[in-house]
């Protein structure tokens, strides 16, 4: 027999009302000096032309000494022993008992150019309104390059976000249309759902009323606590948004390196992990390519990279400082004999790192 009392007496849930996924363009005011700003970012803004001509670079001073002697045999042996002891599968015998027969220096140079820049970009942003200052059109906003930012130390990267003054206005939330709440996605705004135990019938089997929903066939939605709506995630229930222009300031240290090929057999990538002896440093707002260096490839690399950096960074960002350095990286190729056979290894960098691809006494071990 049909039990009308136990059957669910609810209208079918309405389709979920999806709010707009992005704010409409009409939500943003037209601010003088910021006409190209959009939600999500409007690209980087070129810096204004300087009021005064930039100071011209001056050639760096010649350095009296461009080379250093190779390492001693004792230093080479000590570095080799430390290398062997750091490897769990390496016997220390070759490093300890091997006889060094030849040491050859392949010292090389690393040229580095750093261009420290500041770039600025703007975008329309919004946040729940909780009483913040609303100052749009009180006076014209300052230009994006006129706003003070707290720059980090030179050649230290950083980022700062600044709310542009006199751009903040109050708008109804576009997501909930100023209601502060949105229909619950789980129950499509009905506040209840089909009972998962009886699948909406109100009965378990036969005339046995479902105890989970008390025979209603539906149960309250746990996600919205039966209210059919949830707090808007955009305005956090405040109904209104503070809309403003956000300025992002980035400081970037743009770096390029050039290492002279040393023809020793040591891979150049190994030299990226070590430091060398600094022979030359020049720091100016705009550096002049290196002159008079004994290795012509370093001079050529300096001319090329200085020109490339001027083309890349001086038009799209504000260059705060440039710095160029030349390091001498010691590389020593060591030949030694052990058990009647000849082997070799490399010692390189101020850290005396060792590369020995074919170490003659290794074993396979495993952790039990």
CB 165 within 8 A of CB 34: no
pTM: 0.76
Match 């100071």 to its residue by tokens.
55
Residues 317, 328: Cα–Cα separation, whole Å? 32
Q: Token pair of 206, please?
A: 């036969």
CB 202 within 8 A of CB 194: no
Per-residue pLDDT tens listing for the chain (368 residues) = 334 333 333 334 444 445 456 788 889 998 998 888 888 776 678 888 766 666 666 665 455 455 556 789 999 999 999 999 998 888 889 999 999 999 999 889 999 999 999 999 999 999 999 999 999 999 999 999 999 999 999 999 999 999 999 999 999 999 999 999 999 988 888 888 888 888 878 888 777 888 888 888 888 888 898 899 999 999 999 999 999 999 999 999 999 999 998 888 998 889 988 999 999 999 999 999 999 888 999 999 999 999 999 999 988 899 999 999 999 999 999 999 999 999 999 999 999 999 998 899 876 543 43
At 327-355, the pLDDT tens digits run 999 999 999 999 999 999 999 999 999 99
SS3 for the chain is CCCCCCCCCCCCCCCCCCCCCCCCHHHCCCCCCCCCCCECCCCEECCCCCCCCCCCCCCCCCCCCCCCCCCCHHHHHHHHHHHHHCCCCECCHHHHHCEEEEEEECCEEEEEEEEEEEEEEEEEEEEECCCCCCCCCCCCCCCCCCCCCCCCCCCCCEEEEEECCCCCEEEECCCCCCCCEEECCCCCCCCEEECCCCCCCCEEECCEECCCCCCCCEEECCCCCCCCEEECCCCCCCCEEEEEEEEEEEEEEEEEEEECCCCCCCCHHHHCCCCCEEEEEEEECCCCCCCCCCCHHHHHHHHHHHHHHHHHHCCCCEEEEEEEEEEEECEEEEEEEECCEEEEEEEECCCCEEECCCCCCECCCCCC
For the chain, what are the domain ranges? 73-114+252-355, 181-231
d(CA 193, CA 219): 6
CA distance 302 to 112: 8
What integer pLDDT is reported at residue 207 of this predicted model? 78
Nearest alpha-carbon partner for 323 in 292, 291, 280, 272: 280
């Amino acid at each position: 027999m049909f039990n009308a009392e136990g059957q669910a007496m609810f209208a079918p849930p309405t389709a979920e009302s999806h709010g707009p996924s992005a704010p409409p363009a009409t939500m943003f005011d037209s601010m003088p000096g910021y006409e190209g700003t959009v939600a999500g970012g409007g690209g980087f803004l070129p810096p204004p032309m300087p009021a005064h001509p930039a100071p011209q670079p001056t050639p760096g001073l010649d350095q009296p000494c461009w080379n250093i002697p190779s390492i001693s045999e004792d230093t080479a042996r000590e570095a080799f022993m430390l290398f062997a002891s750091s490897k769990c599968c390496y016997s220390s015998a070759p490093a300890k008992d091997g006889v060094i027969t030849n040491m050859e220096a392949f010292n090389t140079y690393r040229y580095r150019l750093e261009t420290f820049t500041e770039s600025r970009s703007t975008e329309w942003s919004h946040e729940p309104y909780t009483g913040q200052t609303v100052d749009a059109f009180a006076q014209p906003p300052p230009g994006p390059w006129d706003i003070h930012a707290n720059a980090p130390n030179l050649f230290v990267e950083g980022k700062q976000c600044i709310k542009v003054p006199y751009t903040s206005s109050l708008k109804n939330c576009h997501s909930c249309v100023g209601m502060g709440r949105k229909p619950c996605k789980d129950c499509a705004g009905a506040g209840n759902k089909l009972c998962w135990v009886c699948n909406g019938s109100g009965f378990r089997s036969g005339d046995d009323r479902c105890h989970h929903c008390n025979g209603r066939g539906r149960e309250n939605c746990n996600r919205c606590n039966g209210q059919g709506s949830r707090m808007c995630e955009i305005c956090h229930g405040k109904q209104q948004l503070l809309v403003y222009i956000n300025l992002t300031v980035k400081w970037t240290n743009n770096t390029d390196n050039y290492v002279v090929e040393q023809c020793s057999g040591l891979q150049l990538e190994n030299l990226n992990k070590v430091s060398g002896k600094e022979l030359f440093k020049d720091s100016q707002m705009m550096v002049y390519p290196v002159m008079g260096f004994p290795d012509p490839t370093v001079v050529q690399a300096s001319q090329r990279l200085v020109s490339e950096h001027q083309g890349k960074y001086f038009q799209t960002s504000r260059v705060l400082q440039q710095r160029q350095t030349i390091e001498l990286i010691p590389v020593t190729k060591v030949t030694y004999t052990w058990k009647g056979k000849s082997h070799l290894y490399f010692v390189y960098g101020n850290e005396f790192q060792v590369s020995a691809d074919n170490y003659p006494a290794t074993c396979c071990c495993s952790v039990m």
